[in-house]
Amino acid sequence: MQGLTRIYIADISVLKDPFVFESLLKRVPEYRQKKAMSFKFEKGKKQSLGVGLLLQLACKEAGFEGADEHIAYGENGKPYLVDCPNVQFNLSHSGERVMGVISPYEVGCDVEIVKGNRGRLAERFFLPEESAWIKHFETLEAQSEAFYRLWTLKECYMKVTGRGLSLMPDMFALHVDETENISLSHDGERPEYAFREIDFHDGYRYAYCIKNDGKNAPHEVKRVDLL
Instruction: Determine the pLDDT at residue 77.
Output: 81
Total number of residues shown for the chain = 227
Q: Average pLDDT in the 157-165 region?
A: 90
Given a cut of 80, whether residue 187 has pLDDT beyond it is yes
Given a cut of 60, whether residue 2 has pLDDT beyond it is no
Q: Average pLDDT in the 56-79 region?
A: 92
Q: Average pLDDT in the 185-191 region?
A: 96
Identify the weakest region by mean pLDDT among 24-33, 87-96, 212-221: 212-221
Tell me which H or E stretch contains 144. helix 140-160
Instruction: Determine the pLDDT at residue 1.
Output: 45
Instruction: Determine the pLDDT at residue 174.
Output: 97
Give the bridge partners for 102, in sequence order.
Answer: 6, 89
Q: Average pLDDT in the 22-50 region?
A: 98
Instruction: Determine the pLDDT at residue 117.
Output: 79
- 2 — alpha (psi -120 to 50), left (phi > 0) or beta? left
Tell me which H or E stretch contains 109. strand 106-113
Mean pLDDT of the chain: 94
Given a cut of 50, whether residue 161 has pLDDT beyond it is yes
Q: Average pLDDT in the 29-51 region?
A: 98
Q: Average pLDDT in the 146-175 region?
A: 93
The answer to whether the pTM exceeds 0.75 is: yes
CATH homologous superfamily for 106-211? 4'-phosphopantetheinyl transferase domain (3.90.470.20)
